[in-house]
Each structure stands twice: as C-alpha cells, then as structure tokens.
Structure 1
C-alpha cells in the first residue's frame, strides 16, 4: 500500500472515529414490551426515534452508552414520516446537533450510530448511495409511502432503527430505519419538514395531514415552458383517486403539476411539504400543464385518515 493510500485511510478513520465519539453519547437504546430500537437525544428531555419502533407502545426504558437508564413515555408518533418523539426525565446528555439532509450529495460520507441486534453504541460508516428514495410502509390497514428517504451503504440492521445517521461534522442528517430489511440502509431525512413534524408532535402529539388523492412522478417540463417559466421540472400525475379532492377539482391523469399554493413543485415531497393540517378544508390553487396549456384549478384537501 502506498503512503498516499495509507494517508487517505488514516484521514477516513480519523473522521469516522471523531464522529463516533461525538454522536455515540447522544444515541440511546430503547426497550419496549414488544421489542427494541434506538433513539437520538435532541433536547434536555426528549429523544427522536422511528414510529415503527414505538408501534402501539406508550412507555419503556432508555439506556445510554454509559449504562445510565431512565424510563420514557411516548409523546407522539407520525407513521407517515416514520418519526416519533419520546420524553424522559432530565438525562444530562448533550443534545445532538441536527443538520439538514437537503444539503446531502450522493457519495458523501455518513456514519450510523445505533443499537443493531441490541448491541448498543455500535458504529458503521459508508456513503450516501442515493437520495429521494420512496419507502412503502403499512399504516394500519392502509399502505403509505415515506418520501425522500436517504439510501446508504452503511450497514443497518434491526435495532438500528431510530438511531443517528450523521455527516462528517457530526450533525445528525437522518434517523436510520431498518424497515426495508437487512442489507439495505435507509434513513428518514432530517430537514426543515422533519423539524416541523417534531415541533408538531411535541405540541399536539400527532401530525394532521391534508389529502389530495393523487399519485405522481417527477417529470421534466417541455423546453419552451421551462424557458418561459424558469422552472425545469414538475410532478406528472399518474393516478387520481376517484371522488377525492383532486378528482373533484378536475385534475386528470397526465396533468403536469407546476405549482401548488403558488409555490413550484418538482416532486412528491414538494407537495407533501404543503399538506399539513392548516390547509385542510382550504381551497389550494394548483397550476398544471395540460395539452400544452396552463390550467388553474382549486382543490380543497380533506384530512388524511389515520389507519
């Protein structure tokens, strides 16, 4: 091995070990009657974990990497984002620094800290393999999709769920999830939308969602439209739920959504960011490209049912 290769490996090891030292004390193992997982400290009395880790449980035990234990209770969970907030007694741990997954790029180094298979304080490293993945989940009797998921080749196994995915600066940019199974590393992004969900869970214990009843995929705009609007992508509707808000508003399969509430939309996450509780029952202006023409409609979202 050349000196250059050795220097590169040494630099890589220093980064990973530095992140591990900083983040490991901020990640706990959590135990419930039905199983276990991991959680990340984000303030003096609260930790962030996965909704699927909590399930229907309402309490359990938190164990930190130094062996300290404390009981916790569930404050709230949001199955659609697979996030949950739990509360403990004052634990004396320094909160994790939350980053912004919107700034991640494919190939970037990330470090996962959690409790895979019950082994607390475990550290793995890898890179961001892909961004913007969709993760199908079962919510009661209904199937939902968690949008904008991070894919990584850092090894994640059952028990890692709810743990931290951190960047090279030790900022938590994702909450790991093993929902997809062993061998595929996925994490729910930490970004402005996530922070809004966390704040809502802290105050209300749940997240009310608005519902339009459409399924879409990102699609480029025609060159002439892109030149005229300055927008380069939209969301192509591939399915409209019969009798849903979008159907009643006159949206059709094949329409290319450009804006919702006068804000540009380029993917499903762009719409979901606008579909929180406050817009339920409020007419939303939606602009679509249909057969080469701009069409404006008003759709009134209903509340997304739970379960």
Structure 2
C-alpha cells in the first residue's frame, strides 16, 4: 500500500489557517430564510471577534436585514442583534446573545502587511457554505467606492478569489490572524478583490460595541497613503479630492497637499486620522499641517460632524 505523501508547506499553511479561524466564520441571512442551501442564494459572511458572541461583518450585508440570523460551520443557527453599523467604513457589529462560548478569531496588525504576502479568505460566496480561497496581498492603501456610494480609504487589495457572499468574511494571514474584512470585488475584473484593514475594523468595532454608533468629525477630503519626500522613511496622507463645501476647502487645503499632522497628532496612516477625528469635537478649530510643494504649511480647519449617508 502506497504511503500518503506529506503535504507541501503552502498547503500545510492554508490548512492550518482554515482549521484555526474557520470555526469563527458564519453565514448571515434574514430570519426565516430557507434552510435549503443552493448555489446563488444571496447571503453574507461574518466572524466572531469575542467568545461572548460579538461578530464583525459589513454594513451593507446587514443594512436591509431586520432580523438577521447566523449559521455556524457546524450547522447551528442563532438569531443575532445589530449592535451598530458604520456605513463610512462599511463595517457592522452583530451579537448572538447566548450563554455559551463561541470560537473567536484574533485580529492582527494590518499595518505590517507587505506586498506578496500570503492571505486566505473564508466565507460563503454565492450561497456555497464555507468556502476557502487563497492568494497574496496585491496592493495596499487603495481607495474604493463602497456599495452606498461612499468612499472607503486605505483598502487592502488581494487576488484571493472573492464573490458575492464573501462580504464580511475574514481575510487571514499565515499566522491565523485576521488582517482584513472582505468587502468587495470589481465586476468584470479578474483577481482584484478588496478588504478593510484590521486596524480600521478593530477601532470601529470597539466604538460600536461601546456606543452603538460613531460620531466623528468630518474634514471633507479623500486621501491615500504616500511617502513624504526626504531622507526619513516617513509617510503622510495625500489629498486626492476636496469637497468644495467642506471644512478642509474652507480652511484652505487643496488637492495634492500631503497631510502630516492634525492638532498634536502626527498622521502616518488613515487609521490615525480616523481615530483623531472620532475623538475631536465637531465645531472646534484644529491646526492642520500639510506639505505643499515641499514646504510645511499650517491651516486652521473647523471640522463638522460627519453628515448622515444618503442611503
């Protein structure tokens, strides 16, 4: 009898990741949805982030579901309650309120991602329950138009196969840590899919669990990470678009400026900017430093409260 050949290192890594994170992944559907699983049935994905039943998913997955229910990998189905959602990052938190311990995935540090790094996506695409795909990190710091028309910034690009139904599922690194929340694909494009970084997901989830909503100040800019010219390996946020009626435009900021500091906080990533604005009182002036034509300039901007999304 022929001995079973050992698996290659790549296969061993993917299998280990799936066994570690897979039990935390769920499918999300409206209550009363037929239990018969067929391909092409609409649904979304999510995953437990705490043993007491808190789940992360996409805002667009649960936005129009009045009574969500989640199904675990073992087939058990539970009702879930919406704790809160943040349409501007397309993230939402649900909770299964049961007196039992759920398998929870661990959030990793997305700021340490590198191009070419192995990643694994787990979800429920096109109604196929619990599907795994693998690929690499193809790009970092992307900007994406979300399902509601909002601009989502600092997005991870991957070539791991994602399809409708993967939304809200985890993107996992080789250590078995979630480094992104799968969010979208581009129709008609091959091997181009996106995920929200775990750093963004972690602080959004914490605020939603605490308060049920995020009341953040609003500058009215679309930005992307870019290196700052000079000998030091520093980064800032390049302003790609400025809302002509927004606080940034009224304060004098322009497209092409590189945001490097707001208040007393150096800004090296979109996550740092989000965290600052989530704690800054709307209506209170703040000093904003930008690099313009290789010179540092300071402007005073009066952030407003983020307007309610139109959807």
TM-score (norm 2): 0.84
1:57 aligns with 2:59: no
**Cα distance change of structure 1 residues 42 and 218 upon mapping to structure 2, 3 Å threshold:** closer
Residue 290 of structure 1 and its aligned partner are, at CA, apart by 4.2
Q: CA deviation at 1:38?
A: 0.7
Q: Does 1:194 align with 2:196?
A: no
Per the TM alignment, residue 296 of structure 1 is displaced from its structure 2 partner at its CA by: 1.9
Instruction: List aligned pairs for 1:78-93, cutoff 5 A.
Output: 78-90=86-98, 91-93=100-102
Q: 1:173 to 1:248 in 2, by over 3 A?
A: same
Q: Which residue number in structure 2 is paired with residue 172 of structure 1?
A: 178
Tell me: CA distance 1:10–1:217, structure 2 relative to 1, closer, same or farther (3 Å): closer
**2: distance between equivalents of 1:87 and 1:214?**
33
Matches of residues 1-307 of structure 1 in structure 2 within 5 Å? 10-32=8-30, 35-43=42-50, 44-90=52-98, 91-139=100-148, 143-178=149-184, 180-181=186-187, 183=190, 184-191=192-199, 193-216=200-223, 221-222=228-229, 226=230, 230=232, 232-266=234-268, 270-290=272-292, 293-307=295-309
Distance in 2 between the 1:244 and 1:292 partners? 25
Residues 1:118 and 1:219: Cα distance change in structure 2 (over 3 Å): closer
Please state how far the C-alpha of 1:289 moved relative to its aligned partner: 3.6
Structure having the larger proportion of residues in helix: 1
Aligned length in residues: 292
CA distance in 1, matches of 2:201, 2:297: 32
Distance change in 2, residues 1:220/1:167 (3 Å): closer
Give the C-alpha shift of residue 273 in structure 1: 3.7
Give structure 2 stretches of 5+ with no counterpart. Answer: 34-41
In the alignment, the residues of structure 1 paired with residue 293 and residue 167 of structure 2 have an alpha-carbon distance, to the nearest angstrom, of: 45
CA RMSD of aligned residues (A): 2.5
- For the residue of structure 1 that corresponds to 2:160, the secondary structure is coil
Residue 109 to residue 296, structure 1, CA distance change in 2 (3 Å)? same
Report the alpha carbon displacement of residue 269 of structure 1 after superposing the two structures with TM. 5.2
Q: Judging changes above 3 Å, is the alpha-carbon distance between structure 1 residues 87 and 241 closer, same or farther for their aligned structure 2 residues? A: same
- C-alpha distance 126-50 of structure 1, shift in aligned 2 (>3 A): same
Retained in 2: the 8 A contact 1:57–1:74?
no
Is the alpha carbon distance of 1:296 and 1:163 closer, same or farther for their aligned partners in structure 2, counting shifts above 3 Å?
Answer: same
Alpha carbons of structure 1 residues 113 and 255: separation in structure 2 relative to 1, 3 Å:
closer
Deviation at 1:93, TM superposition (A): 2.1
SS at match of 2:140: strand
Q: How many Å separate the matches in 2 of 1:111 and 1:278?
A: 36
- How far is 1:238 from its partner? 4.9
- CA distance, structure 2, for counterparts of residue 13 and residue 256 of structure 1: 42
